[in-house]
A and B are shown apart, each in its own frame.
Chain A
Amino acid sequence: MGLIDLLKKIEPDKKKSPFMHTLYDGFFTFLYSPNSTTKGGVHMRDGMDLKRLMVYVVLAMQACFLFGTYNIGHQHFAAAGMFPGFVEGFHLKLVHGLIQMLPIFIVAHVVGLGIEFYFAAKKGHAIEEGFLVSGALIPLIMPPDIPLWILAVAVAFAVILGKEAFGGTGMNIWNVALLTRVFVFFAYPTTIAGDEVWVSGYNALAEGTQASYGWAHGMFNSLFEMMGLSTFQESTTKIVNGFTGATPLALAYQGGWENVTATYTPSQMWWGSIPGSIGETSKPLIIAGALFLLFTKVASWRIMLSMFLGGMIMALGLNFWGATPFMEVPWYYQMYMGSFLFAMAFMATDPVTASNTNRGKWIYGFMIGAIGMIVRVLNPAYPEGWMLAILFMNTFAPLIDHYVIQGNISKRLKRA
């Protein structure tokens, strides 16, 4: 117990420096679970706490993180027609991915956690764990080329106005990660919409544009040279003829499934070596994460299942209508494109912003699936529907719960 004595010795005074104490407390409880015992009420408590819960959600996303990082590099070179095999140029793809990804991850966490720490110190309570999950989700739903200052502003907006203004973790109405994204989407539409944002490392996506590398690439170049590996070359890495960077959804909107498969094969879309938001492309890894959350009972199976059904049934309805080529895309291929599965596994299942009641969760999930599919297929202004559908249903979740609760109340009254 040497370490713990040392840590206890350096504990800052709570009154003199509340911020330092909050910070200390945050890290101390991260290292050690506290020695607090039950008082009044039950004498034993379940081993589960919020830290463990949140960490399990973050664990479920790790595979998406790894794949997403590598895929940034893969898309970068795919635009130049280099290293067409997924594992060719492995070191270059990985390093380029990390150079793009790490700053996004760090900025999201420094800004978000900084604000959380500040508010925790100001309110005089312990740091809450909510941002662990939001902070892990935010990088996964950003385009790889997002300017860091926009990301910082968006995170600050979401955490301050979306969460702390409502009272912190557990009190927010809207999903914090999606608020970050929706802020970028509406405040800086050109950075998150259109075809050009999904490939990083180029100033524009016109044919012949050279890649532009920074000091970090240079540093790795010297390392790679020493090891006798291929290096980043601005002069030879040029966008090839015909490359548009369009995502499958954009292609589907223009010409249906045939237009999509002209550029990407279904297996490419399934495994995820396509352009898109960082973490949402690889379907097997998302499904693995979803299964992990379902097995550990961390996420609600009701929401996942009902959202899947909602999306499926709406897609079948659109198939039946069939007025545009996009409507005719079979429902199962709709799942291949875009971020349907990612939204289902990680976004809709946020317990705070979803419906609280079990019956409400069925309605909530189903409506997200149905509305998101409508936005995706029928609305040309928005390439993807889940962000808007989830935020929309976040807003209505309390209303759904209200009616479920009223049902319970009137049942009780009728019984009398």
Chain B
Amino acid sequence: MSTASNGNSTTMTKNKSVVSGQKIVLKKGFDIKLVGAPNDTTIKTVDINRVAIRPIDFLGMSPIPKVVVAVGDEVKAGDPLFFDKKRPDINYVSPVSGEIVDIVRGAKRAITEVVVLADKQQSYRSFDVPKLSNRDSVKSFMATSGLWNYINQRPFDTVADLDVVPRDVFISTFDSAPLAIDYSVIIEGKEDAFQKGIDVLKSLTDGNVYLGLDGRAGSKIASGYSTATNVIKNHFKGKHPAGNVGIQIHHTAPINSGDHIWTLDVQSVITIGKMFLEGKYDSSRIVAVVGGMLKDPKYVYVHQGASVGDILADNIDVNANNRIIAGNVLTGKQTTVERFMGYKDNQITVIEEGNKYEMFGWLLPLKPRPSISWTFPNFLFPNKKFKGETNTHGEKRAFVVTGQYESVLPMDIYPQHLMKAIMAGDFELMEGLGINELTEEDIAICEFVCTSKMPLQSILRDGLEMMKSQG
């Protein structure tokens, strides 16, 4: 435990990972196959009028940040909107140029959204970019220019601390979640920005930047990933959650007690890289608009935090029984056409609400549904794609089935015992069982398969909050 702060000790069996080019095959996992993927990967445009930045998206932030703009103000892309009073050095900035039209408050006057009406012609605040050789000036620049909050820090998966030098930085270059966006589309034409982003991150750590590459059969890895330098590249093959960065960390250089690991998604790295290349804050993203309830699933190029209504426009039937999800069906947040995308969302999924009774639904399901259970004839149709709906298919019960979570989570972790430890508030056991290696997206697939319909993601977040409050 003494040298726990830097986990690359020589006794570590995973030390081989420092060599690039490992192929890690993960046998556990489950792919939920859904209809509603785009037919082609051409990127369409949609008109986005309003965007919003939501303090609630930034885990670890206090609910009432200090807003530095007022309704009616004109801002440029990259101008600060608000900051966290606990960490005033980190700015949260406007993704677009335009006019502040609304500051929405929720329960207990918490600020839920700062809404900007986007200009048709975007103008950018100009930044003076520091040299990468000076770590402190890079850090303070990233904090003031709104780039810092793209960095997630584990344990706890919150916005990174400014005074931390991470052991390593991890980036996954594919997403294995249901109907996830094809990451080779994201990087097309932005290879330089991605490489620059990696260089910036490399300058912030004494360890390595790791890229997780898609090793699944039939995958095409864009050259922007395969030719990236200054990184350690490993291939991961397996069903979901093989594309989750948490799984990849676990299999290359796991998080030990005292370690800090930073994780970023590819589009955020590109935003950081663009800033250091061009001196402007360009946070626009490619979003996959997917799901069985859409008229026309497609990829679109939109501003960060774009209005859900603007993105979906006339792509959905407004009277239909829809569930709109910002994100994928496992980890996304339920939203409506009046609300906005999260600042890191690169997917919006629309499936049917399952608020229907079903006669003997537990015994003889008449409608096909995804399941890991062999009590359904699904094993006869391994490639069948399901429409997907939100019925719980049963009621919440105590833990009964065992070994189920382990069968879909490719980690050396006992999720059920961890959940029980969290429920019992046993800190030592939680840490021992590896809570610091996990975040919600990693166990979302366990929550999906749970026969007892347990809310595992919310239990885990409670546990992470408990651990965090303990220091």
A-to-B contact residues, CB < 8 Å: 4, 29, 31-53, 55-56, 126, 128-130, 167-171, 295-298, 300, 351-352, 354-358, 361, 401, 405, 408-409, 411-416
Contacts and interface: CB of A to CB of B under 8 A. Distances in A.
Given A31-B359, A37-B354, A43 B400 contact: no
B417 interface: yes
B394 A50 contact: yes
A46 B323 contact: no
A327 B71 CA distance: 89
Contact of B353 (A29, A37, A126, A401): A37
A32 B351 CA distance: 22
Nearest to A126: B395
B362 interface: yes
Interface of B: 1, 3-4, 7, 9, 11-14, 32, 178, 254, 256-258, 323, 325, 329-332, 334, 349, 351, 353-363, 365, 369-376, 388-395, 397-403, 406, 412-414, 416-417, 429, 432-434, 444, 447-453, 455-458
B402 A351 contact: yes
A33 B403 contact: no
Contacts of B359: 31-32
A415 B323 CA distance: 43
B355 A46 contact: no
Nearest to A130: B400
Given A37-B354, A44-B370, A44-B389, A357 B414 contact: yes
Contacts of A49: 362, 393-395, 397, 451, 453
Contacts of B354: 35, 37
Contacts of B1: 413, 416
Contact of B358 (A32, A48, A128, A414): A32
Q: Which 4 A-B pairs have the closest CB atoms?
A: A49-B394, A33-B361, A170-B398, A409-B432
Given A52-B363, A55-B363, A170 B392 contact: no
Given A52-B394, A358-B403, A414-B11, A46 B372 contact: yes
A361 B407 CA distance: 14
Contacts of A356: 402-403, 416-417
Contacts of B32: 44
A368 to B, nearest CB: 16
Given A48-B451, A300-B402, 4 more contacts: A36-B392, A44-B370, A48-B449, A51-B362
Contacts of A47: 365, 369-371, 373, 376, 393
Report which residue of A48, A401, A411, A414 has the largest number of chain B beta carbons within 10 angstroms of its beta carbon: A48
B4 A408 contact: no
B390 A128 contact: no
A55 to B, nearest CB: 6
B330 A48 contact: no
Contact of B395 (A36, A297, A411, A414): A36
B51 to A, nearest CB: 24
B356 A35 contact: yes
A310 to B, nearest CB: 19
Contacts of B403: 300, 351, 356-358, 361
A412 B256 CA distance: 7
A11 to B, nearest CB: 13
Contact of B362 (A42, A55, A361, A414): A55
Prevailing SS type, chain B contact patch: loop
A351 B395 CA distance: 19
Given A29-B395, A32-B359, A126-B395, A42 B373 contact: no
Contact of A415 (B254, B330, B351, B448): B254
Given A41-B456, A52-B362, A297 B450 contact: no
Nearest to B451: A48
Contacts of A300: 402-403
A354 B401 CA distance: 10
A37 B391 contact: yes
B357 A32 contact: yes
A46 B416 contact: no
24 contacts: A4-B357, A35-B391, A38-B391, A41-B447, A42-B329, A42-B447, A42-B457, A43-B323, A44-B178, A45-B391, A49-B395, A128-B397, A129-B397, A168-B398, A296-B374, A351-B402, A356-B402, A357-B414, A405-B433, A408-B413, A408-B434, A409-B432, A411-B412, A413-B1
A128 B398 CA distance: 9
A264 to B, nearest CB: 37
Contact of B388 (A44, A53, A405): A44
B409 to A, nearest CB: 12
A401 B421 CA distance: 14
Given A168-B398, A358-B406, A50 B452 contact: yes
Contacts of A298: 375
Nearest to B354: A37
A50 B397 contact: yes
Contacts of B406: 358
B400 A170 contact: yes
Contacts of A415: 7, 11-14, 254, 256
B360 A31 contact: yes
A256 B430 CA distance: 54
Nearest to B400: A170
Report which residue of B325, B359, B453 has the largest number of chain A beta carbons within 10 angstroms of its beta carbon: B453
Report which residue of A53, A170, A352 has the largest number of chain B beta carbons within 10 angstroms of its beta carbon: A53
B289 to A, nearest CB: 16
Contact of A33 (B178, B334, B393): B393
Contacts of B456: 41
A53 B254 contact: no
Nearest to A28: B357
Nearest to A33: B361
Given A47-B373, A170-B452, A415-B256, A37 B392 contact: yes
Given A47-B373, A170-B397, A409-B433, A35 B448 contact: no
Contacts of A4: 357
